[in-house]
Structure 1
Amino acid sequence: MNDISDRIKQRREELKLSKTEVAKAANSSVTMVSKWEAGMGMGFDYAARVAEKLNVSLEWLYYGGEEIGLACSPSAHIPIVGNTQAGPDRAWLDLGYPAGYSDEYVDFPTKARNVYALKVVGNSMSPRILEGEAVLVDPESEPATGEEVVVRLTTGAVMVKTLAAIRDEKIFLDSYNHGYERMVFPLDEVEFMHPVIGVARSSRIKLV
C-alpha cells in the first residue's frame, strides 16, 4: 500500500465496514471518507478516530509497515515555532531546529527528524484548516501538487496554501476558502516551500 488513502480503504474493506460506519466514528461524513480514500489529506483528530475504528495504530495509518497492531511508537513533541503569517524565524532555521526552542508543542507520530508546527492565522484555508489550529510541516519532504504547503517568500510573507501547479518558472497557490483568488509568484521569489503532513486541532496544542 502506497499511502494513507490505500491503507484506510484496504483496512475498512478487511473489517467489512461501510463508509457510513467510518464516517460516524470520525465525526465526519461519507463524502469526506470517500475523499480520504481518494487521496485527500486528513486532520490529526480525524486520523486518530479513524485509526481507532480500524483497530490500527496511528503510526501504521500514516506510514504503513508489516505490522497492523495497535502498538505504536511514542509520538514526537513537534515544536510550534511561529504562525502562518510569520513562519519559523530565521534564527530557528539557522540554529538547525533546536529542541526546546518553543513553549508550545503538538504530539504527532512521525519518523522525520525536523518536523515543525505553525499556528494558523486567518480563514483562507477554512473549513479544511481553521484559525488557531496547527499545521505540521516536514521541511525534508518534497511538495506535491494538490496538497497543502507552507510557502515563505523572499519578502518575508508566509502562508499555507494548496499547491496548484509549478510551471513557466512560477508557483500557483490556491486557498481552500473559495472567497480567495489564486496567488501566483515567480519561483525566484520563493524562499522555501515545505509540505504539510498533518493538522492538529487547537485542543491538541500543549504547553511545555
Structure 2
Amino acid sequence: MTQENLADTIPRMNIHRRIKERREALGLSMETLAAKVGVKAWQTVQQWEKEDGGTAPKRDRLAAVAAALETTPEWLMFGPAAENDVGKKDTEPRKQPVNLTEKSRHALPLRYSVDVKNFRRVYVVGRAQGGLPERIWTDGDYPVGATDQYAELATTDPHAFLSPIVGTSMVPKFNPGDFAFVEPGTAVEIEDDVLVRLVTGETMLKRLISRRGGIQLGSYNEAGSLLYQPEEITWMYYVPHYVPARKIKTRF
C-alpha cells in the first residue's frame, strides 16, 4: 500500500474526534500537541481534528500522536470498540491493523495527566460592555462578576476562571459562544494564547507574539498585530484552551 494517509485506508473512522477529545481532556492546545508530535504548524492538528474533509496523521506519525495523547494507535483509530457501517457499537473489537509494531499491538490503559481530585467548578466571569470587571477577585479570592455558570475542569490554579468568547479574531481556535479557560497562575510564554486587559478597560483574547519593544499581540484570522507598552496593560493571563458551550452547566 503506497497511500500513507490513514483516513483513506480506514473508512468512516472517528480518529478525528478521538484526537480532539483526548487533546482537550489533557488540556493541550493545538500548538502544544503540534510541538510534542514534531509538526511545524498547529493547523496540521486542526486538520487531524476536522471530521468533514480533514486529514488523519500519516502512518509514520501516528505513534508519535498517540504517545503525545497518552494512548495507543489502536485506540485513536478504532476506539474502545469498533463501529460498524451503520454507526452502532460492535460487541467484538475490530481486528488489529497491519504494519503496526509488535509493541503497539498490546493496548495500554488510557492515562490522564491530572488527578481526579484536581477537577473542580470553574466559574464564568461575566463581561460588561465587552470587558471584564476591573478587579477579578475579592479579598476572599471570590471572583467578582461570577455568574451561575460553571464547568468542571482540572486545574490547580485557585484563581482559574472562564470568560465568554466574543468576536471572531481568534477563529477557528476560539469561536464566539464558547469560553476561554483562564489560568492566571501560569507564567505566559511567547506563542501562548492570552487574555489581556488594557488600562482603558478593554479585554481581548489574543496570541502573544513577542515582547521585544513592547507586548506584541496577534490573532489567528486577522492580518497584522497590535503593539502595547507594558504600562498600557493591566494584566495578561494564560489561556490553555477553550471550553465548548456544551460543557457549561448552571448552578441551581
TM-score, normalised by the number of residues in structure 2 = 0.57
Q: Is the 8 A contact 1:77 1:107 kept in 2?
A: yes
Deviation, structure 1 residue 176: 0.9
Cα separation, 2, equivalents of 1:33 and 1:152: 24
Please list the CA deviations of residues 106-137 of structure 1 after superposition, one character each: whole Å capped at 9, or x if unmatched.
11111121101101001110001100111111
- Quote the residue 2:125 is aligned against: 81
Q: Is the 8 A contact 1:19 1:33 kept in 2?
A: no
Number of corresponding residues: 170
- Quote the residue 2:152 is aligned against: 107
- Quote the residue 1:151 is aligned against: 196
Which residue identity does 1:196 align to in structure 2? V
With over 3 angstroms needed to count, the CA separation of the structure-2 counterparts of 1:181 and 1:37, relative to structure 1, is: closer
SS at match of 1:172: strand
Q: Is the 8 A contact 2:124 2:162 kept in 1?
A: yes
With over 3 angstroms needed to count, the CA separation of the structure-2 counterparts of 1:145 and 1:19, relative to structure 1, is: farther
Cα separation, 2, equivalents of 1:83 and 1:97: 18
Which residue identity does 2:229 align to in structure 1? P
Cα separation, 2, equivalents of 1:164 and 1:181: 11
Q: Which residues in structure 2 correspond to 1:92-131 (within 5 Å)?
A: 92-98=136-142, 101-131=146-176
Q: Is the 8 A contact 2:194 2:238 kept in 1?
A: yes
Deviation, structure 1 residue 187: 1.1
Deviation, structure 1 residue 138: 1.0
Please list the CA deviations of residues 92-112 of structure 1 after superposition, one character each: whole Å capped at 9, or x if unmatched.
424443179421111111112
Q: Is the 8 A contact 2:157 2:184 kept in 1?
A: no
Greater CA radius of gyration, 1 or 2? Answer: 2
- Quote the residue 1:181 is aligned against: 224
Which structure carries more strand by proportion? 1
- Quote the residue 1:203 is aligned against: 246
SS at match of 1:192: strand
TM-score, normalised by the number of residues in structure 1 = 0.68
With over 3 angstroms needed to count, the CA separation of the structure-2 counterparts of 1:34 and 1:141, relative to structure 1, is: closer
SS at match of 1:103: strand
Which residue identity does 1:98 align to in structure 2? Y
Cα separation, 1, equivalents of 2:30 and 2:202: 34
Which residue identity does 1:140 align to in structure 2? G
Which residue identity does 1:72 align to in structure 2? V
Q: Is the 8 A contact 1:133 1:199 kept in 2?
A: yes
- Quote the residue 2:185 is aligned against: 140
Deviation, structure 1 residue 139: 1.1
Cα separation, 1, equivalents of 2:185 and 2:31: 29
Deviation, structure 1 residue 23: 3.5
* Alignment gaps of 5+ in structure 2: 8-13, 22-28, 37-41, 50-68, 77-108
Please list the CA deviations of residues 74-96 of structure 1 after superposition, one character each: whole Å capped at 9, or x if unmatched.
52100101249312x13542444
Deviation, structure 1 residue 24: 5.0
Q: Is the 8 A contact 1:83 1:120 kept in 2?
A: no
* Alignment gaps of 5+ in structure 1: 1-17, 64-70
Cα separation, 1, equivalents of 2:18 and 2:179: 23
Cα separation, 2, equivalents of 1:95 and 1:57: 37
Structure 2 residue 19 is the aligned partner of structure 1 residue 26: yes
Q: Is the 8 A contact 2:179 2:244 kept in 1?
A: yes
Cα separation, 2, equivalents of 1:91 and 1:77: 20
